[in-house]
Amino acid sequence: MTLKRLFIQHLRNLGAVDITPSAQVNLIYGENGSGKTSILEAINVLGVGRSFRSHKHKPLINHHQTSFTVFGKVNAEGVEVPVGVNRQANGEAVFKANGMLVSSAAMLASYLPLQVINSDTFLLLEGSPKIRRQFMDWLVFHVEPGFFQVWKDAQRCLKHRNSLLRRDRMDRFELATWDKELAQYSHQIHVFRQECMRQFCETFYLLVQEFIAIEGVSLTYYCGWDEEKDYAAILADSVERDKRQGFTQVGSHRADLRITINGYPAAEVLSRGQQKLLVCALKIAQGYLFSKITGRRCIYLIDDLPAELDEHHRSLLVRWLDAMETQTFVTGVEKQALLDAWQELPATEIKLFHVEQGNVQAIV
């Protein structure tokens, strides 16, 4: 899975960009504010319909324009698939793949699996459980074809149940009907997540020893309720408490991946540098397992690599990416700092792009 062509128009400060990336390594350098991160954002838009910096689309549109467009040609198992996204200032969005309209960002994501490593990645350790659920569900979505529909069905049930809980006069029979469906879908989600996390943990523990010298790292998947009890019974027993709160307090929507060091939350005991190494290991393990299960490769977007890792661990990360044979887009301020990370891999095809005031130039 590689991006063979990238066309960007009117996204942030980028005017019209049309580049042919390397199938392996693409190094993008320029001063802060030049627009290099905007290139990564554009690829993310192409993959999931939005930026990794914000869910809002209006800030992405150039101040003097009414829309932006991102177009790419994706090489998927030898087949070239055109993919495009257009977002209007009024909120209208058009997603296309292979000449056909795509109805949702979730469907768009199946064409271009992406992994992002940037400063926000560290929220995996110190952020809310929602961020870790999204991390888990990225893998489940891409390797379990039935997951997304079940997840949508569970969200629908949860919405109806919460609406009933907030009514002055709650219909117990109607609530029981939604409870039954919610329990069924939640159990299916749990089965999907549990198996994926089992495989993920095995992969992570093997890889992490090479990357970081931290003892006592542990990952624990929590399904969102007490697994020793029947979830349908938990819902029935928690009706009055949920009604007082106005929402359902336990379930797959409260799942978490608990990351600890000798039993303590990793974010509380690790230095900032160690946290950076740990989240990189999590991201690499996820991409590695995705490739192992599906036979496909995701694309890595790494924003400001020199600022996030020291020279030694940059080298380790680069060797992992090289071994995975994945396409990578990396930004940084200094060209040489980016090149140095790949200096031990002379056979790797590297393309350099210089960004200055929204203009992108390929360096031969």
Q: For residue 11, which of 57, 55, 61, 63 has the smallest C-alpha distance?
A: 61
Confidence of residue 42 (pLDDT cuts 50, 70, 90): very high
Domains of the chain: 1-113+301-364 (3.40.50.300), 121-295 (1.20.1050.90)
**How sure is the predictor about 206, in pLDDT bands with cuts at 50, 70 and 90?**
confident
The 10s digit of each residue's pLDDT in 279-299 is: 989 999 999 999 999 999 999
> What's the rounded mean pLDDT across residues 79-91?
91
* C-alpha–C-alpha distance, residues 108 and 70, integer Å: 13
pLDDT in tens, 252-268: 999 999 999 999 999 99
- CA–CA gap between residue 339 and residue 126 (Å, rounded): 31
pLDDT in tens, 213-231: 788 999 999 999 999 999 9
Q: Which residues lie across from 331 on neighbouring strands?
A: 28
Residue with structure tokens 């992490």?
208
**What's the whole-model pTM score?**
0.92
Can you read off the two tokens belonging to residue 158?
Answer: 């949860």
Phi, psi of 107, deg, nearest 5: -65, -35
Rounded-to-integer distance, Cα 157 and Cα 244, Å: 19
H helix intervals, the chain: 36-48, 105-109, 123-126, 129-143, 147-165, 172-211, 231-237, 239-245, 266-269, 272-294, 305-308, 311-324, 335-341
